Structure 1
Amino acid sequence: MRYYRTAAPDSRLIARVDDQGYDLTAARPDVESFTDLAAAASISGGSVTELTERLLNEAEPVDMATVEANPARPLVPEEVWAAGVTYQISEEAREEESGKPEVYLDVYDADRPEVFFKATPSRTVGPDDAIGVRADSAWDVPEPELGIVLHHGEVVGYTIGNDVSSRTIEGENPLYLPQAKVYDRSCSIGPCVLAAEGVDPLDRTISMRIERDGETMYDESASTSDLVRTPEELVEYCTRHDAVPESMVLLTGTSLVPESDFTLSPGDTVEITIDGIGTLRNDVTEV
């Protein structure tokens, strides 16, 4: 089951069952986002899917074409975190850009994964909004990633994330990672949340296409099965010994890296698709 949210001012949570949409906010007015639904499910002692099934009888049918034409972020997580060097191609790319490549090889083979803070709500955009590239960076890339949706540290769903990054800044020195990763419009999530029940996140094709002035600059696919760490392991390290917020998203790393002569430019369009979730589309602007 997938969950979408319509844009303001009439923000509503929509559950998609097969090809039919249902307005869950019409059935329960205080449920306007996936976070609201996860909180209500937690209070009731059931799962998100179980609560949705109880609400469907009271929910009004809606046209999914209308919802998907103007989606908002399905949730606004209080924090977005990300894992790095979780695919071999990511490890190779980080070595290539860095003057200290052994740092990334050590992390790839280590027991402890790289987990870092990525974004606050104000730095995160949704589908069809613009992602940002820094004006002080000459080499910028999108990073398409499977996102794990957490409610009080428990996995409740999956979404698509774009961990936009400055390879210029990160390559200068690994200590510059926060500046390369955390800035205005540096993260995108959406277009929906796929409920976690019965879902295998490690059997998903992930693809990315980048277009510029009508020309395809990049179009490649990979599989989440190539993750060298399990989602459970990444979640455990991200949440251990920390006071986690009610709602957060953990991005699991990228398996698609454009060639080193490519950089994002304002006006580009990035589309990231994950089987069973959908397509996250964003234009690019300079910040």
Structure 2
Amino acid sequence: MRLLTYTRNDAPIRLGAQVDDCVIDLAALAAHTGVELPGDLLSFIQADAPAREAARRLLLSDPATWPDEAVHQLDEVSLRAPLRPGKIIGVGLNYVEHVEESSRSLDTDKELPPRPVLFSKPATAVTGPGQPILHNGDLTAQLDWECELAVVIGRTARRVSEEDAYAYVFGYSIVNDISARDQRRSGQWFFSKGQDSYAPFGPAVVTADEVPDPMSLDLSLRVNGVTKQKSNTRHMLFPIARLIADISSGVTLEPGDVIATGSPSGVGAGMVPPEFLTPGDTVEATVEGIGTLTNPVTDAR
């Protein structure tokens, strides 16, 4: 399933499933058939397999029986961030070429990290498709981009083995790991990466059953239509299963948590000369099978 969080005519946000060019309100469709389903994605994830199975059965039913209030054209709705995660765990230096790029331009270690490099972003950093990335010139002159595959956790994960890791994945999305490169503080990344709007997220969450090999997905990023990043998830230094095992060895992952799995090379700080985002720019992050997450850059002041 391709799951969206959307609003229509400024109504409260709803959970929908995209079917071709339509968005199907799952809770409304369920109510029409006497079934109950959550109206938001986080609750849907927390409801686990019974909710997913019920939704799939509903979507396989005859569309002619679907009520009008449950079916909307995609171009008639406004997409929002899929959910507000309890935790966003970022992974730094997870593509070999980005390790070299960062050592040259950001003074990080030139050696490959022996374990995943982890940091966090607060939920307040999340913004949705089409929503602005805020450029505050009082705080940064080095606003940068990073296209990343996002892993959405579906079950409570504590001390999970690599062999069992994928059983805890609900689905996949996109995070653009926005960074103020000049706001790293004594090697700490929280303020550099955690400011408001620094976690564009979406446009959808695709359930794990529809992504047969998440370690073989093309990803790319464009600024004003010009390609800056282009790679494939197969080039991750630490694959998804290793990340889940490593994180859950000491931090409990909960349903709806998001792991941003790292950026390939091609970030603005690594360009010669360096390039950074400014108000008026448009950033498009694309991951194969998930879609394109587009955000404008606007002046925050």
How would you bin the TM-score normalised by the shorter chain? 0.7 to 0.9
Q: Which has the larger strand fraction?
A: 1
1:64-121 CA-to-partner distances (Å, cap 9, x unmatched) read 4325x5211122212211111010222122212334x33xx34x340x211111122x
Q: What letter matches 2:85 in structure 1?
A: P
Q: What letter matches 2:95 in structure 1?
A: Y
For residue 35 of structure 1, the aligned residue among 25, 42, 62 is 42
Contact 1:134 1:166 in 2 (8 A): no
Q: What are the residue-to-residue correspondences of 1:201-212 with 2, within 5 Å? A: 201-211=214-224
Distance (Å, rounded) in 2 between the aligned partners of 1:6 and 1:139: 32
Instruction: Give the root-mean-square deviation of aligned CA atoms.
Output: 2.3
1:105-164 CA-to-partner distances (Å, cap 9, x unmatched) read 34x340x211111122x2210101011234322222111100000133421000010110
What residue in structure 1 maps to residue 234 of structure 2?
225
Residue 145 of structure 1 aligns to a residue whose secondary structure is: strand
Distance (Å, rounded) in 2 between the aligned partners of 1:224 and 1:182: 24
Contact 1:146 1:251 in 2 (8 A): yes
For residue 202 of structure 2, the aligned residue among 190, 194, 210 is 190
Distance (Å, rounded) in 2 between the aligned partners of 1:248 and 1:59: 32
For residue 96 of structure 1, the aligned residue among 85, 104, 113 is 104
For residue 180 of structure 1, the aligned residue among 192, 197, 200 is 192
Distance (Å, rounded) in 1 between the aligned partners of 2:13 and 2:191: 33
Distance (Å, rounded) in 1 between the aligned partners of 2:135 and 2:241: 31
Distance (Å, rounded) in 1 between the aligned partners of 2:66 and 2:39: 13
Q: Does 1:52 align with 2:60?
A: no
Structure 1 residue 217: Cα displacement: 4.7
What residue in structure 1 maps to residue 267 of structure 2?
257
Closer, same or farther in 2 for the Cα pair 1:66/1:185, shift >3 Å?
same
Residue 197 of structure 1 aligns to a residue whose secondary structure is: helix
Closer, same or farther in 2 for the Cα pair 1:21/1:269, shift >3 Å?
same
What residue in structure 1 maps to residue 179 of structure 2?
165
Closer, same or farther in 2 for the Cα pair 1:134/1:178, shift >3 Å?
farther
Distance (Å, rounded) in 2 between the aligned partners of 1:163 and 1:238: 18
Residue ranges of structure 1 left out of the alignment (5+ in a row): none
Contact 2:93 2:99 in 1 (8 A): yes
Q: What are the residue-to-residue correspondences of 1:48-197 with 2, within 5 Å? A: 48=52, 50-56=53-59, 57=61, 60=67, 62-66=71-75, 70-99=78-107, 101-102=108-109, 105-106=110-111, 108-110=112-114, 112-120=115-123, 122-135=124-137, 136-151=139-154, 152-153=156-157, 154-170=168-184, 173-175=186-188, 177-197=189-209
For residue 236 of structure 1, the aligned residue among 230, 240, 245 is 245
TM (normalized to structure 1)? 0.84
Distance (Å, rounded) in 2 between the aligned partners of 1:202 and 1:19: 28
For residue 282 of structure 2, the aligned residue among 269, 279, 283 is 269
